[in-house]
Amino acid sequence: MAYAPGLLGVVMLDTRFPRPLGDIGHPDSFGCATRQCVVPGAWPCEVVGSPQALHAMAPAFVHAVRQLAAQGACAVTTSCGFLVLLQAVLQAAVPTVVRSSSLLQLPALLRDAAQVAVLTVSAQALTPAHLLAAGVPAARLGDVVVQGMDPQSHFVQAILGNQDALDLQRAQAEVVAAAQLLRRRTPQSPALVLECTNLPPYAAAIEAATGWRCLSLLDDPVLRAAIATSSAGAAR
């Protein structure tokens, strides 16, 4: 398979909400060339709220991953952290690196920390099954401290409601408040993992308010290594 130097494939949910810089759907967020493939009918509320619906859509997500790999992507990621439930299936479909969720960074973080904090779009929907799929050992599930956004917040209504408008200042205030609450609950966590790929636009504000380093798919070391290796190979 021929790879396009530094090309990252992004499997996208079927959305219409705005995607500011930092959001995985913004073409400049990764600082490298990206190619998107939308999975029609993959609505945010179903992917997040219904594991059954997500598993039923697995063939469509596999098709998208294969399409991006065939188009030369050196690595493939997704626009929703809840797709970690399909990580094994998606990775098995292609030889290309697939990183479905920022939650895949949890096992490495837990090796050096007593607890790790996670900010998610929905604490109710993020289950132990998602963490296990991310590689978190069963014995360490209790060491992952999860904080969800308020279901009635503007941010959640815009994202899970798939609305066509998003007030960035209002959303930022809500996200920072949730992160501060989590900081008080988990002061010893070395970093904050942002499950939702729509949260990184507010990472700088979170870091300023909490002192935490935010980790998202934009920071995933496996993705970054694949992009760097592909780019370096093309330069030789």
Q: For residue 231, what pLDDT is reported?
A: 73
Q: For residue 226, what pLDDT is reported?
A: 94
Q: For residue 235, what pLDDT is reported?
A: 52
Question: Per the structure block, which two tokens stand in for 49?
Answer: 């709220």
- CB neighbour list of residue 118: distance below 8 Å, 6 or more residues apart: 103, 106, 126, 144, 145, 146, 147, 192, 193, 195
pTM for the full predicted model: 0.95
Map tokens 């929703």 to a residue: 80
The greatest distance separating any two alpha carbons of the chain, rounded to the nearest whole angstrom, comes to 52
Contact predicate 95/68, CB 8 Å: no
Residue by residue, pLDDT tens for the chain (236 residues) are 444 567 999 999 999 999 999 999 999 999 999 999 999 999 999 999 999 999 999 999 999 999 999 999 999 999 999 999 999 999 999 999 999 999 999 999 999 999 999 999 999 999 999 999 999 999 999 999 999 999 999 999 999 999 999 999 999 999 999 999 999 999 999 999 999 999 999 999 999 999 999 999 999 999 999 999 887 655 55
Q: For residue 175, what pLDDT is reported?
A: 98
Q: For residue 3, what pLDDT is reported?
A: 46
Sorted by where each starts, the structural domains of the chain and their CATH numbers stand as: 8-100+218-235 (3.40.50), 103-216 (3.40.50.1860)
Q: For residue 230, what pLDDT is reported?
A: 80
Contact predicate 220/104, CB 8 Å: yes
Contact predicate 5/193, CB 8 Å: no
Cross-strand pairs, 144: 116
Q: Give the number of other Cβ atoms within 10 Å of residue 121's Cβ.
A: 25
Compute CA distances 179 → 136, 191, 213, 214, whole Å: 22, 11, 11, 10
Contact predicate 175/205, CB 8 Å: yes
Q: For residue 6, what pLDDT is reported?
A: 79
Map tokens 């930022």 to a residue: 172
Q: For residue 35, what pLDDT is reported?
A: 97
